[in-house]
Amino acid sequence: MGKEMESVKNIEKLKETFSNVTKEISKVIVGQEEVIEQILVAILCDANALLESYPGLGKTTMVKTIANVLDLKFSRIQNTPDLMPSDIIGTYVIEEDKGKKVFRFQKGPVFANVILADEINRATPKTQSALLEAMQEKQVTVGNQTFELERPFFVLATQNPIDMEGTYPLPEAQVDRFLLKILVGYPKFDDEMEIINRYTKASADAGVRVLLSKESLTLLQNLTRQVPIADDIKKRALEIVAKTRTAKDLIEYGASPRASIGLILAAKAKALLDGRKYVSAKDVEDMAYPVLRHRLILNFKAERDGKTPDDVIREILK
Amino acid sequence: MPPPFIKALFNEVKLEMLKIALISTFLDTIMVFFVVYFVVSFFNIKFMYLLLIPGLMAVIFFFVSILVRIKRLRLKSMEDANPQIKEMLRTAHDNMDAENNIMAAALFAELKEKMKTVSSGNLLESKKVVTRIISTVIIVFLIITVSAFNVNLKKIDIPFEKLRFMVPGAGPGVIEGNLTTLVFNETDVVYGDASIAKLGNEEIDLNMNPTISEIDFNKISEAEQNELREGGVPQEIGVTPDAFNNQQVLDEAEQAANYSQRIKNI
C-alpha cells in the first residue's frame, strides 16, 4: 500500500516532467509544439510514426533533440533507390581471429533506439519491407540468426509530399503499421524570426540536458497502457473508426481495427502527457487526425471536391 | 479490488443525489398542493374536503415523483452538474475493478481530493428551484387574497352526483332516499310508529344565513336573550312533579328520549 501511494505521488510529478522535456526540446526547436507532442505520444505508445513535411523544416534536428533529451541512441538512414536491406540491418563481415577467418555480424543503423528513416518512399520495396519488419517485430533476422532490437525502439519515417518522381509509395498495408502520421507545417512568422535569430549566431549549439532515462521511458510506456478510460469514451473512439467504414460518400476504404487500438492508445498517451490520469473525449478527438489520416482512402468524389483526409475526419467527428 | 474509499465515495454521491431528489420532489409537492387547493376552492365543497383532496393529490404526486426521480438517478446527473469532474468520475466508475493499476489508483486518490471541493448543491438547478418557490408564493398569495379580502367567488357545484356528499350540509348523517326502507328494531321496546319518521315527498327548504360577511351593521338591533341548547336533540328530559306526576307519563317521556337518541345514531 505504501509503495502504491509512493507511485501515485510520483504520477503527480509526471506533468512537470513532460513539461520540462518539452521546454528542453524547445531550446533547439522553435514552435512545432503539436508535432513534438505527437512524436512523444508515439514514443509513449512504443509505436512508430510517419512524418510528412516539405524539406528544411527541421525534422532531423527535432528527432535528434528528442532522442538526446530522452537519452536514446539516435541513428539516421537516408533512403535512396540503391539502398539495400543489409545497409539498414547489417551484414556478416569476414574477420581474422587468431589466424582464422570468421564471420562476424556488423550491426546496421537499425540497432538504435530512435531511427530516423528519411524519405522512406525513395527506398525500394525490398528495403522498405526490411525496415518495416524491424518496426513491427522489433527484431531482425540475418541468415539463420535473429537479433533482438534494443528497447525502446522507435522508427520515425519521413516522406516528402512533393517531388514524387522516382519514389516507391508505401503500400497501404505497410502504412497501417505506423501509429501516427504527423504533418509538419511551416512555422509561424514569429517562430521563423526566432529560428533565424537562433541559428545565424556564431554558436547555435543549445546543449540539451538528459531528462529521462531509458528505464524511465520504459516505465512510462507501461503506465501509458494503464491509463484508465471510461466505457463511453471507448465507444466514442470505436464509433469514429467505424464511421470511416460507413461514410461511403467520402471514403473508399476505412480504417482497420488496428486503428481503433491505436486511437485508444494514442489518447491514453496524450492524457499522460497532459498529466491526467484518465482519457478525455477531447484526447480521442485530437488524436483521431494523426491516427486516421493515413489509413483512409478517399473516394473519387471527395478527391474531386478537393477534400483532404483531415477534412473528412473533421466531418466524421461532427 | 477497488479501494474501499472509492466505493464509499460513490455511495456518498448516490446519497447526495437522493437528498437532492427528495428536496426537489418536496418543493414540487408543495406547489402541487397549493395549486390543487386553489382550484378546488372554486367548488362548493366542505372545508374538510378542501384540505383532503389537495393533500391526497400531493401525497400521490410525492410518491410517484420520487419513484420516477429515483429511477432516473444516474451518475450522469452528478456529472452534468459538475462538468469539471465529469470524465474523471465516469472513468473512475467504469474502472472500479481495475486491479494492480497504478494509474487507476492515482485517479481514485485525485478524485477523492476533488470530491471535497465539489458541491452536490450544483445538482439543485437554482433556476428551477427559484421558479418553483416564486410560483408557490404567487399561489399562496392568491389564496390569501381571496380569503382575506372576502372575494365572493361564485362556487361551482360539483357536477358528479356521486360526489354530492362533499357539498356543505350534506354530511354523512343525512340519509337519502325513502325512510320506509329503514328497518326498525322489532323488540319489546317500542320506538314508535315508523310512519311518524317518514318525510314523504315533502321537500325541506333550508335557508342558512347570514354569514359573517353578510352582516349589515345598520340593521343590528338590541341583542336578544336566547337560550342555547347543545345538540338538536335533548339529552335529558326534565319534568316537574306538578305537571308529570303520573309514572306512565314519565316512562313514555324516557322512551321518547331513547327513541330520539337512537334515531340520531342511525
Element (H, E) at A184: strand A180-184
Among B91, B111, B113, pick the best mutation site for testing chain A contact (most A Cβ within 10 A).
B91
Give yes or no: residues B144 and B14 share one domain: yes
Q: For chain B, give the secondary structure using H, E and C.
A: CCCHHHHHHHHHHHHHHHHHHHHHHHHHHHHHHHHHHHHHCCECCCHHHHHHHHHHHHHHHHHHHHHHHHHHCCHHHHHHHCHHHHHHHHHHHHCCCCCCCHHHHHHHHHHHHHHHHCCHHHHCCHHHHHHHHHHHHHHHHHHHHHHHCCCCCCCECCCCHHHHHHCCCCCCCCCCCCHHHCCCCCCCCCCCCHHHHCCCCCCCCCCCCCCHHHCCHHHCCCCCCCCCCCCCCCCCCCCCCCCCCCHHHHHHHHHHHHHHHHHHHC
* Separation of alpha carbons A90 and A110, rounded Å: 8
Residue B163 within a domain: no
Residues A206 and A245: beta-carbon distance below 8 Å: no
Residue B159 within a domain: no
Element (H, E) at A28: none
Residue B158 within a domain: no
Rg (CA), chain B: 34
Strand A251-253 relative to strand A297-298, pairing: antiparallel
Within 8 A of A279 by CB-CB distance, chain B residues are 87, 91
Q: What is the pLDDT of residues B32-72, one digit of tens each?
A: 888 888 888 777 777 787 788 889 999 999 889 888 877 77
Q: What is the total count of domains within chain B?
A: 2
Nearest CA in chain A to B98: A228
Q: Cell numbers 362533499 label which residue?
A: B166
Within 8 A of B103 by CB-CB distance, chain A residues are 11, 223, 226-228, 277
Alpha-carbon dihedral sign for residues B262, B264, B265, B266:
positive
Q: Which residues of A283-307 are buried (b: 16+ CB within 10 A; e: fewer)?
A: bbbbbbbbbbbbbbebbeebeeeeb
Whether A226 has its CB under 8 Å from any CB of chain B: the answer is yes
Q: Decide if A12 and B98 are in contact by the 8 Å CB cutoff.
A: no
Give yes or no: residues B179 and B144 share one domain: no
Q: What is the pLDDT of residues B123-145, one digit of tens each?
A: 666 777 788 888 888 888 888 88
Within 8 A of B92 by CB-CB distance, chain A residues are 228, 278
Q: Which residues pair with A91 in a beta bridge?
A: A106
Q: Decide if B102 and A4 are in contact by the 8 Å CB cutoff.
A: yes
Residue B166 within a domain: no
**B194 vs B19, residue with greater confidence:** B19
Give yes or no: residues B198 and B242 share one domain: yes
Whether A284 has its CB under 8 Å from any CB of chain B: the answer is no
Whether B102 has its CB under 8 Å from any CB of chain A: the answer is yes
Query: How many pairs of residues across A and B have Cβ atoms under 8 Å apart?
Result: 59
Residue B161 within a domain: no
Q: What is the pLDDT of residues B24-36, one digit of tens each?
A: 888 889 888 888 8
The nearest CA of chain B is from the CA of A260 a distance in Å of 19
Please report, as a single letter, which amino acid is at residue B75.
Answer: L
Q: Percent of chain B having pLDDT more than 90?
A: 1
Give yes or no: residues B19 and B143 share one domain: yes
Average pLDDT over residues B174-199: 52
Residues of chain A scoring pLDDT < 50: 1
**How much is the pLDDT for B188?**
46
Average pLDDT over residues B183-194: 52
CATH fold of A1-200+217-226 reads: Rossmann fold (3.40.50)
Q: Decide if A11 and B106 are in contact by the 8 Å CB cutoff.
A: yes
- Whether a cis peptide bond, with omega within 30° of 0, leads into B210 is yes
Segment among A19-28, B171-180, B224-233 with least mean pLDDT = B171-180
Domain ranges of chain A: 1-200+217-226, 227-318
Give yes or no: residues B66 and B141 share one domain: yes
Residue B29 within a domain: yes
Give yes or no: residues B133 and B216 share one domain: no
Residue B160 within a domain: no
Write the ipTM.
Answer: 0.73
Whether B88 has its CB under 8 Å from any CB of chain A: the answer is yes
Give yes or no: residues B20 and B86 share one domain: yes
CATH fold of A227-318 reads: Helicase, Ruva Protein; domain 3 (1.10.8)
The nearest CA of chain A is from the CA of B110 a distance in Å of 9
* Residue span of the structural domain in which B118 resides: 4-148
